[in-house]
Structure 1
Amino acid sequence: MFNNMTPVVKGIIILNVVFYIGTVFLAPSLYDTFALHFFEDSRFHFWQPLTHMFMHDNAGFLHILMNMYVLAIFGPPLERWMGDKKFLFLYLSSGIGAYLLTTGIDYFDYMSYLESGFSQEVLNQRLFGTANNPNFWGVMVGASGCTFGVTAGFAYLYPNVKLQILFIPFSIAAKWLIGAYFLYETIAAFGLTGVNDNIGHAAHVGGAIVGFIMTWYWKRNSMDKYRWD
């Protein structure tokens, strides 16, 4: 798998690992600086919509491991098809799409709190936490929105490719497996699963939508014949 790595995918993985080591082990104080906070939070900085894509959960390795594994599997075929510049653009745009959808939902919640007549002090506690619970609202970290954009693009380009999942004794076509996962994430984003798992389902949905639309558009316009590179 890793012998077939493409340049942009390889660079993104390296950058994620550098951010992880730097903000978790070498300079933990930077974690809060690069993670994404709600824009009304005093901890928000203008660079966070970009930097959060290269940040991951500092409580364990599983978050970054899964995201980079998915990128290593689905990224290279997509990059070879569209070229490195367009792949990078799709990857980052999917992350921005994840940010915009998540922030839009958060803003709706924020306005609901405002219209409920809470005092500013209570509002700040509910939205941005307290000294004992500094992340009541939560911070957004991870490349999941980007990787969902990549998997959505892959499913559109190669819908009938068979994928094998651990512990499942049969293979499943990409369009059905990735499509079912997207459906679940959409349901979860609306809170209809009843599970409070602290996962950014809306970010996954936003990233997948952007990745799918961009791949669909480039494919429809015969991007195979008119690459940038």
Structure 2
Amino acid sequence: MMTSNSCWAVVPAAGVGKRMQADRPKQYLPLNGKTVIEHTLERLLLSGCFQAISVAISLEDPYWPELSIATHADVITAPGGKERADSVLSALKSLQGRANENDWVLVHDAARPCLTSSDIKQLIDRLKEDTVGGILALPSHDTLKRVQGNSITASVDRQTIWRALTPQMFRYGMLRDALLRAEGNPAITDEASALELMGLQPKIIEGRPDNIKITRPEDLALAQFYMEQQS
């Protein structure tokens, strides 16, 4: 894997994860002997792809300073924002003066601890010459329904539907400008949507189905299972 531009990672980790119904944000829940976010960051570090990783953390977060990985030489702490886009933008600003405009930034969810180096390297290899960038994603295998209230109004053609994963990979300057332009827009639920708002068309790279996002309590057991399978 070779790319003429440096690669940086950004991990927005200022969310509280209300759906987990836990006593702490989901990124700090125990998983296989560590916290979720420790697994996530270790996977990114072990890939050997990144100059540094900027992690956006809530200013009121009491858990992050307790983790040894928070003081890792290649981990930068940035202030988290109210929304995901705010945190990503803050993390990008923390790389100012280090990252060049055309360097690549890979944004990855803190709650996706099963990411593999092979998926990271595939994403970089496939997109390193692209003018826009793109994301890991999975085609939908389920039948999809459009719903109003609790009634089905139509079936959706699943041939054109993919589930967005992370990392999402874009040029440093392009992503920063897209997020600045889209600031406050509730339609920006991931980085690709900010680029789409600019009229650009990010690419889709099929990722691994075990790259799950921990959202609900039962996802922890599934992540543990996938980690055991991967090892």
TM over 0.5: no
Larger Rg: 1
* Greater helix share, structure number: 1
Q: Give the TM-score normalised by structure 2.
A: 0.30
* Greater strand share, structure number: 2
